[in-house]
């Protein structure tokens, strides 16, 4: 057996059985080894951003890593933006990056790059495999780092793959234990929260946004504690009778306004809230000056028992209050396809158990609020690291992780173009995804930001950089070119008909929703 065989066997021994791949020459022995392991499901992405974004979506939904197969430094580089999102989302993920044989590096052949330098900024763990007999230790280290959770990157020199490896029995590592939260932190948090009922809150992040934790946090309301969620939600179980959380809004002024009322903020799996960008004259920290920030549990800690202990310490009721599903206004059945109309139609039609992948950005901004009244679902915000292009790939990964659930993708057009190649993977794997593309034909978010920096009149150069018109993208043709069925909606009737149709069948479908973008004259 060679190192590549050993690599596959060790991955499988750790339960890693999905490989999102875009291979190249230095990985041929690994490809050959994968080919001999039908237990590993190999899924091709036509660009590495698709591969890493799919692994992110998979990790968020499966709570265990898929493995990516990337070709040397440039292949890794192509996947870095979505690895950045995955790292910020704390997704479990293992990358295998092929490299030249160790004996070949001295020649500085064209593909030679400093892979470690490229990997480190977007990885929690980086290791270069030191030979065929180092493969198993590499997988063990990477798997434990991935299960922390985090992003692990293994560099596989070609001669570590092709060299002979001893066929000793394989060991499965035990997953790392999440950090235990000790009593002093619980008491300190409770003490702080008692100071000003009604003006105190918990900020939930990471696993604290799963249904079991939100239910416990909901009990804290009985002690006058408000329940907030992070600005970027990696994954939240919500809808139906589940308790709501108030998400920290993206616009700085709204976030500052919301948190101006808060004297004490307890962090549960979250970090202290900060502005996404700096603006001249505005603060970077979103909590008000003088707000007391207390960390109960970090993103890698065991948040559920910490929350339960906090609830006990605050002596709130043992059970979460019974809740009715939030009110959901009826959807319009006809008329122009406004943002509000799309929001209501989609929220009303959301099937139970749906996985919503949200990279809508400026479209359907109210969807998170409205869909509190939808059927129970998982909600994933994709650009957790602020890198666009996560949407279509994450839909792929979520659908692979959960083949019996419907994935609903809310996709901005500008971001969707970054990794449009992912539609082909949906077609090939017949993934059960409805992609709603909001065709506003602009980087609408940048129109807003230009106004934020005081520019209200756009000239030719600004229009050429911020608008996606001349020519307009034809998403129906693009989808069909990539093998996915598609339709275009310009009215509520058309949108409802297409969405119902797509929900009533299996397999991928793209709906191009032609919506009013910003005034593209920029004036």
Cα torsion 75, 80, 83, 85: sign: negative
Of the candidate spans 141-149, 173-181, 197-205, 460-468, the one that interacts with its own copies by CB under 8 A turns out to be: 460-468
Separation CA 402–CA 355 (nearest Å): 9
Q: Got the DSSP string for 376-396? A: SEEEEES-TTS-S--HHHHHH
Interaction of residue 18 with its own copies, rule CB under 8 A: no
Identified binder of its own copies from the candidate list 14, 60, 64, 84, rule CB under 8 A: 84
Identified binder of its own copies from the candidate list 135, 346, 361, 466, rule CB under 8 A: 466
Interaction of residue 23 with its own copies, rule CB under 8 A: yes
Q: In 3D, which of 499, 399, 335 has the Cα closest to residue 43?
A: 399
Identified binder of its own copies from the candidate list 12, 13, 104, 249, rule CB under 8 A: 104
Dihedral in degrees, nearest 10, Cα atoms 80, 83, 84, 90: -170
**Two tokens, residue 226:** 């408000």
Of the candidate spans 124-132, 308-316, 352-360, 416-424, the one that interacts with its own copies by CB under 8 A turns out to be: 416-424
Of the candidate spans 132-140, 179-187, 431-439, 443-451, the one that interacts with its own copies by CB under 8 A turns out to be: 443-451
Please, which residue, 313 or 418, has the CB nearer to its own copies?
Answer: 418
* CB neighbour list of residue 375: distance below 8 Å, 6 or more residues apart: 239, 240, 350, 351, 352, 353, 354
Interaction of residue 188 with its own copies, rule CB under 8 A: no
CB of 186 to its own copies, least distance (A): 26
Identified binder of its own copies from the candidate list 324, 471, 504, 523, rule CB under 8 A: 471
Q: How many residues does the chain have?
A: 523
Please, which residue, 302 or 485, has the CB nearer to its own copies?
Answer: 485
Separation CA 486–CA 475 (nearest Å): 8
Binding track, positions 128-167, relative to its own copies; x by CB under 8 A = ------------------------------xx--x-----
Please, which residue, 84 or 210, has the CB nearer to its own copies?
Answer: 84
Q: In 3D, which of 371, 398, 394 has the Cα closest to residue 383?
A: 394
Interaction of residue 293 with its own copies, rule CB under 8 A: no
CB of 194 to its own copies, least distance (A): 29
Interaction of residue 504 with its own copies, rule CB under 8 A: no
3-state secondary structure 200-246: EEEEECHHHHCHHHHHHHHHHHHHCEEEEECCCCCCEEECCCCCCCE
Identified binder of its own copies from the candidate list 12, 13, 275, 308, rule CB under 8 A: 275
Separation CA 433–CA 435 (nearest Å): 6
């Amino acid at each position: 057996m060679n190192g590549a065989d050993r690599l596959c066997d060790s991955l499988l021994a750790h339960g890693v059985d999905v490989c999102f791949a875009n291979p190249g020459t230095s990985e041929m022995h690994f490809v050959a080894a994968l080919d001999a392991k039908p237990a590993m499901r190999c899924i091709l992405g036509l660009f590495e951003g698709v591969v890493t974004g799919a692994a992110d979506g998979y990790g968020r939904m499966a709570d265990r890593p898929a493995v990516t197969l990337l070709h040397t430094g440039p292949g890794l580089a192509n996947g870095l933006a979505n690895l950045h999102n995955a790292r910020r989302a704390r997704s479990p993920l293992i990358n295998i990056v092929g490299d030249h044989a160790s004996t070949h590096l001295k020649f500085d052949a064209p593909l030679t790059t400093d892979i470690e330098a490229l990997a480190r900024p977007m990885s929690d763990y980086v290791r270069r495999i030191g030979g065929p007999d180092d493969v198993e230790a590499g997988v063990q280290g990477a798997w434990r780092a991935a299960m922390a959770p985090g992003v692990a990157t293994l560099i596989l020199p070609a001669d570590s793959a092709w060299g002979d490896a001893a066929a000793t029995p394989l060991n499965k590592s035990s997953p790392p234990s999440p950090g235990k939260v000790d009593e002093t932190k619980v008491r300190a948090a409770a003490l702080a929260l008692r100071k000003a009922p009604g003006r105190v809150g918990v900020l939930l992040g990471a696993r604290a946004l799963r249904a079991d934790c939100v239910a416990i946090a909901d009990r804290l309301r009985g002690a006058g504690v408000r329940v907030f969620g992070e600005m970027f939600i990696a994954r939240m179980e919500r809808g139906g009778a589940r308790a709501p959380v108030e998400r920290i809004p993206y616009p700085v002024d709204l976030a500052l306004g919301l948190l101006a009322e808060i004297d004490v903020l307890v962090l549960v799996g979250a970090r202290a809230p900060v502005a996404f960008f700096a603006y001249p004259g505005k603060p970077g920290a979103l909590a008000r000056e003088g707000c007391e920030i207390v960390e109960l549990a970090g993103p890698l800690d065991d948040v559920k028992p910490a929350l339960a202990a906090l609830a006990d310490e605050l002596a709130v009721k043992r059970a979460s209050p019974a809740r009715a599903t939030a009110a959901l206004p009826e959807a319009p059945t006809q008329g122009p396809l406004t943002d509000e109309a799309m929001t209501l139609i989609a929220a009303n039609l959301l099937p139970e158990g749906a996985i919503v992948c949200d990279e809508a950005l400026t479209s359907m901004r109210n969807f998170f609020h409205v869909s509190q009244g939808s059927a129970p679902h998982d909600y994933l915000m994709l650009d957790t690291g602020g890198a666009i292009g996560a949407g279509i790939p994450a839909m792929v990964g979520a659908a692979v992780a959960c083949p019996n659930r419907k994935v609903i993708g809310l996709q901005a057009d500008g971001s969707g173009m970054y990794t449009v190649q992912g539609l082909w993977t949906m077609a090939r794997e017949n993934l059960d995804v409805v992609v709603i593309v909001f065709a506003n034909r602009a980087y609408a978010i940048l129109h807003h930001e230009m106004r934020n920096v005081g520019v209200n009149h756009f000239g030719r150069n600004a229009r050429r950089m911020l608008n996606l018109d001349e020519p307009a993208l034809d998403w129906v043709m693009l989808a069909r070119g990539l093998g996915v069925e598609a339709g275009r909606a310009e009215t509520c009737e058309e949108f409802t008909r297409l969405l119902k149709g797509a929900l009533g069948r299996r397999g991928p479908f793209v709906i191009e929703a032609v919506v009013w973008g910003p005034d593209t004259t920029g004036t």
